[in-house]
């Protein structure tokens, strides 16, 4: 497997893409280089060497059939160390010398992404966002905050398929309004029912669907939206210093999820136009979608993980906007204390109100 490194023209050090300045930075001489100036690095991607057919073996025993499936070995040009990864690994850093490397052939030919959104937030901002995520969580165990340490923080370019589509919709709802009044003898309730119709046309642009099986789809959708106006044409220089994977879920297998997202959004948009009623129930929701274009993109995500009480907690931050999501453990003792405090407090208030009402009775 051919590796691609970006070298500083001043001192020869390995360059990494720096989100804060949106340029490549040399950690040795602090030189900065514009990504566009390294366009020649990406121009020869289609001419990269094919993967080497590596025959794994061991003196004591040989690989069983199928055990080598998905494994690839890469050789670092700086130190000669071998990097073992799966077939989707596109960018990483050498564990021996720390130099950032890009597996150029992973993004060549038909696999080359159309666009990339560069990282705007760095590692320190991701860690700060996690600490901010802890704030205000009253039911978060204190020991988790005090003793917890991050096992891994890494910036990953996640492969996404972007779908364009036009959709026609014809919706019908049953809407109800309720009116209450009373006189000296009776209480009255009047319910009016209406049939509400909505129809129209919507266009969707660049609906993202995660193209990696190792990434949780719900987690990836939770850090949306991305700002597409900041996307640029793909160049491998943006990957330097980060991890990157190529897709292992192709566009054809992503269509169903994209279609469902588009239909759900259409239903929400049309439902949002039916206002002024006490209740609205969908009666018929008909959609007709015309598929548009598809793009292959790499989007920036900071992944943070930690293990506590034999359970893994994974967090994700949008590497462009800084939106942060992730589950946290629950302090059951604090939850029970909070629940009973709320219950007893409410009971006390109701008891006082009852006593007052009894005192006001003739």
If asked whether residues 7 and 129 sit together in one domain, one would say no
Count of structural domains within the chain: 3
pLDDT at 105: 60
Q: What average pLDDT does the chain have?
A: 76
Q: What does the H/E/C string look like for the chain?
A: CCEECCECCCCCCECEEECCCCEEECCCCCCEECHHHHHHHHHCHHHCCCCCCCCCCCCCCCCCCCCCCCEEEEECCCCCCEEEEECCEEEEECCCCCCEEEEHHHHCHHHCCCEECCCCCCHHHHHHHHHHHHCCCCCCCHHHHHHCCCCEEEEEEEEEEEEEEEEEEEEEEEEEEEEEEECCCCEEEEEEEEEEEEEEEEEEEEEEEECCCCCCHHHHHHCCCCCHHHCEECCHHHHCCCEEECCCCCHHHHHHHHHHHHHHHHHHHHHCCCCCCCEEEEEEEEEEEEEEEEEEEEEEEEEEEEEECCEEEEEEEECCCCCEEECCCCCHHHHHHHHHHHHHHHHHHHHHHHHHHHHHCC
Please check the confidence at residue 117 and state whether its pLDDT lies above 70: yes
pLDDT band of 60, cuts 50, 70, 90: very low
How confident is the model over 283-308, as pLDDT tens digits? 999 999 988 889 999 999 998 887 77
Spatial distance between the Cα atoms of 74 and 182, rounded to a whole number of angstroms: 81
More confident residue, 341 or 148: 148
**Last residue of a domain, which of 90, 112, 134?**
112
The pLDDT of 319-332, averaged and rounded, is 80
Share of the chain above pLDDT 90, in %: 35
If asked whether residues 134 and 249 sit together in one domain, one would say yes
pLDDT at 235: 85
If asked whether residues 37 and 8 sit together in one domain, one would say yes
pLDDT at 133: 82
More confident residue, 257 or 49: 257
More confident residue, 185 or 81: 185
pLDDT at 58: 29
If asked whether residues 150 and 240 sit together in one domain, one would say yes
Instruction: Kindly report which listed range (3-12, 114-123, 144-153, 293-302) carries the lowest average pLDDT score.
Output: 144-153
pTM over 0.75: no
More confident residue, 98 or 262: 262
What domain range includes position 326?
A: 124-330
Spatial distance between the Cα atoms of 169 and 199, rounded to a whole number of angstroms: 5
**Last residue of a domain, which of 92, 112, 132?**
112
If asked whether residues 40 and 145 sit together in one domain, one would say no
Is residue 305 assigned to a domain?
yes
How confident is the model over 38-59, as pLDDT tens digits? 665 444 444 444 444 433 332 3
Kindly report the CA angle at 296 between 164 and 212, in degrees rounded to 5? Answer: 110
How confident is the model over 118-142, as pLDDT tens digits? 999 999 999 899 888 877 766 566 6
Token code pair at residue 224 = 């949306």
pLDDT at 144: 61
Spatial distance between the Cα atoms of 17 and 357, rounded to a whole number of angstroms: 70
Instruction: Kindly report which listed range (95-104, 256-265, 296-305, 325-334) carries the lowest average pLDDT score.
Output: 95-104
If asked whether residues 108 and 147 sit together in one domain, one would say no
């Amino acid at each position: 497997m051919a590796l691609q490194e970006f070298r500083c023209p001043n001192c020869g050090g390995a360059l990494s893409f720096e989100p804060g300045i949106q340029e490549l930075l040399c950690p040795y001489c602090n030189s900065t280089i514009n990504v566009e100036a390294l366009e020649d690095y990406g121009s020869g991607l289609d001419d990269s060497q094919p993967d080497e057919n590596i025959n794994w073996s061991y003196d004591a025993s040989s690989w069983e059939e199928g055990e080598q499936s998905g494994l690839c070995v890469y050789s670092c040009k700086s130190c000669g160390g071998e990097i073992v990864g799966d077939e989707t690994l596109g960018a990483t850093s050498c564990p021996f010398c720390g130099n950032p490397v890009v597996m150029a052939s992973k993004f060549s030919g038909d696999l080359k992404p159309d666009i990339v959104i560069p990282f705007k937030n760095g590692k320190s901002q991701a860690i700060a966002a996690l600490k901010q995520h802890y704030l205000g969580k009253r039911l978060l165990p204190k020991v988790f905050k005090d003793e917890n340490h991050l096992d891994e923080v890494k910036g990953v370019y996640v492969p996404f398929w972007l779908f364009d589509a036009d959709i026609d919709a014809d919706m019908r709802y049953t809407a109800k309004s309720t009116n209450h009044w009373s006189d000296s003898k009776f209480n009255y309730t009047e319910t009016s029912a209406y049939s509400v119709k909505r129809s129209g046309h919507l266009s969707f642009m660049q609906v993202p669907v995660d193209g990696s099986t190792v990434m949780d789809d719900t987690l990836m959708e939770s850090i949306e939206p991305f700002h597409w106006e900041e996307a640029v044409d793909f160049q491998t220089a943006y990957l330097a210093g980060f991890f990157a994977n190529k897709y292992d879920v192709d566009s054809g297998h992503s269509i169903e999820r994209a279609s469902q997202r588009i239909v759900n959004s259409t239903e929400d948009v049309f439902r949002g136009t039916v206002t002024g009623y006490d209740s609205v129930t969908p009666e018929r929701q008909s959609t007709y979608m015309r598929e548009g274009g598809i793009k292959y993109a790499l989007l920036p995500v900071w992944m943070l993980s930690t293990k506590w009480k034999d359970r893994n907690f994974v967090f994700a931050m949008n590497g462009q906007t800084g939106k942060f999501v992730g589950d946290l453990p629950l302090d059951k003792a604090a939850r029970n204390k909070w629940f009973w405090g709320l219950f007893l407090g409410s009971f006390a208030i109701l008891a006082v109100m009852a006593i007052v009402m009894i005192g006001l009775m003739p």
